[in-house]
Amino acid sequence: KNQVEQSPQSLIILEGKNCTLQCNYTVSPFSNLRWYKQDTGRGPVSLTIMTFSENTKSNGRYTATLDADTKQSSLHITASQLSDSASYICVVSIGAKAAGNKLTFGGGTRVLVKP
């Protein structure tokens, strides 16, 4: 069964500190992995997309890593800001054409940044 597991479920950090979110997946065949940020009451917004051959990708203070061998990814937030408070969702795209490139979503990690 294609699954995406994220940890921790929730995280509280102080403003200015760094944090790392984890994502493990069993999706096969793998096409790409995405990290989304979802503010409360809003739709998800893409942070990064990585294909099989990419190990790391940055978007401002967000850096995602991918180890396709161990099927693990992480999202590192540097120098957190209050606006980083949101849910972060790991999403894996199934590569088989028959699957219609559906996305398999993790349950998300809820991050709360406190001043």
Partner 1 sequence: GAGVSQSPSNKVTEKGKDVELRCDPISGHTALYWYRQSLGQGLEFLIYFQGNSAPDKSGLPSDRFSAERTGGSVSTLTIQRTQQEDSAVYLCASSTGTGGYEQYFGPGTRLTVT
Each residue 52-91 as x (binds partner 1 by CB under 8 A) or -, in order, gives -------------------------------------x-x
C-beta separation of 72 from 55 below 8 A: no
Instruction: Give CA–CA dist 48/88, Å, rounded.
Output: 11
The string of DSSP codes covering 16-77 is: T--EEEEEEE--SSEEEEEEEEE-TTS--EEEEEEETT--EEEETTEEEEEETTTTEEEEEE
**Closer residue to partner 1 (CB): 60 or 100:** 100
The one segment of 19-27, 63-71, 78-86, 104-112 that binds partner 1 by CB under 8 A: 104-112
User: Would you count residue 46 as binding partner 1 (CB under 8 A)?
Assistant: yes
User: How near is the Cβ of 79 to partner 1 at its closest, in Å?
Assistant: 26
Residues in the site for partner 1, rule: CB under 8 A?
A: 4, 31-32, 41-46, 49, 51, 89, 91, 93, 100-108
